[in-house]
Amino acid sequence: MPIPANLTIHDAAAALRDGTLTSVALTQEILDRTAAQNDALGAYVEVTADQALEQAAAADAALAAGRDTGPLQGIPLAIKDIIAMKGAPTTANSHVLDPQWGAGTDAPVVARLRDAGAVFVGKSTTSEFALGLPDDTKRFRIPRNPWDLTRTPAGSSSGTGIAVAAGLALGGLGTDTGGSVRSPASVNGHTGLKVTYGRVPKSGVVPLGYSLDSVGPMARSAWDCAAMLEVMAGHDPSDPNASTAPVDAYTAALDGDVAGLRIGVPTEYFLDHDLLDPEVRAAVLAGVDLLVGMGARARDVVVPDAAAAKDATHLVLVAEAYAYHRHDLVHRWEDYGRFTRTSLARGALLSAADLAQASRFRQHFARNVARLLEDHDVLITPTAPTPAQVAAEMDVSQRLRQPAYTGQWNLTGLPAVAVPAGFSSTGLPLSLQVVGKPFAEATVLKVADALQRVTDHHLQAPRVGELVAA
């Protein structure tokens, strides 16, 4: 019997343990599906089929022998191609990165997943160096939205987002510097968690913004993301920014009980912007209403200087990215994609005063958000202002003009999860975002899970076969 594309980690883990499914069968199905669809979707830079089947066989043998390493054992995952993984090169979707970067090593987060018995399908497509739009003049596949191949799958964790939505993996790793886990989750119709800064070690990951970067789980459901985070989180001495805060039992926190939860709903900028799609706004408010119906309390709040925080995030990101790429930009300009190099070059236009002012504003904004969260457990906002846009109509300047709802939480280092919230009138996924206090991943995942107990938006899968055939 074919394995459905919307299979969750939760249900696959149960099936592996009751004997109705083997990891080898699951992995082979996903590899076959990937072979049929990857050219059209561009989800993977490289598929590691032999490694995946070896891992799957080992997972089956361990379970048969009574060795259970947890719910990720035997589960096929995608690894974003800026994260080092044994058995496959790391390219960052670029001709610039040294081919030996990270060779033969697992980043700590990958090593933890490997030790938990996960299966690695391959290295998933990313925007070049996690920045910029796809460039068809380079040799890399162009990632496409599995709900509509003419539309963007968003970035920069494009490939993992596509793979989860299309059933080419049950989950995977993304990185998030200004929204790069949550944006693909939003437009591809699944769950994606940006963790608190330092919650997951990011050594062995090609940097974009040193003070903004995080590594997060992407999967169909909040439970799936929670199961991944339990393995991924925790201190590692190779990352000086990795927190020593204890790791919570995230899956155990998902009990569906949100009675008394205090929700702040920021209308100003987040819900009243002229460029916010009305269907997105309605979906977000419908999600809030569902939570209120379950006993949560919601009230309108103001996130002071939210628009300025978007600009400050961009300034910090570009400055830090330019610091990393400065030498290669001078000597290898043409090797970069045309969108990436112009985005990175903006960093050369910034002054020390610009960065100092951004740093001062960052502290000011973080203090104000912290005060707001003293009286609220979570904030709920849109994840993106529109459903997936037509890829051919996108440009960098347009992205700068639009409102953005994700980068503010990288600037403050707070956890935030993108949650499927329905579909547009044209059948495209919509998403809301739950933002929490530092290291309160359990709370934001609990809210996401509560919504997913009374809706099935996250269980819908695109009809990729029909799109590819057409």
Residue 221 is among the residues annotated as catalytic for this protein:
no
Dist. CA 439–CA 444, nearest whole Å: 10
User: What is the Cβ-side half-sphere exposure of residue 316, based on CA atoms within 13 angstroms?
Assistant: 26
Catalytic residue among 23, 127, 157, 180: 180
**Contact status, residue 270 vs residue 237, Cβ threshold 8 Å:** no
Task: Read off the tokens for 70.
Answer: 């947890």
**Contact status, residue 201 vs residue 236, Cβ threshold 8 Å:** yes
Residue 127 is among the residues annotated as catalytic for this protein:
no
Cis peptide before 156 (omega within 30 of 0): yes
Residue 180 is among the residues annotated as catalytic for this protein:
yes
Max CA-CA distance within the chain?
62
Catalytic residue among 124, 127, 156, 158: 156
Task: Read off the tokens for 206.
Answer: 């090609």
Place of tokens 């043409």: 334
Give bridge partners of residue 44 from the DSSP assignment: 124
Q: What burial letters (b/e) apply to 390-426, b meaning 16+ CB within 10 Å?
A: ebeeeeeeeeeeebbbbbbbbbbbbbbbbbbbbbbee
Dist. CA 316–CA 365, nearest whole Å: 14
Catalytic residue among 80, 194, 202, 310: 80
Catalytic residues: 80, 156, 180
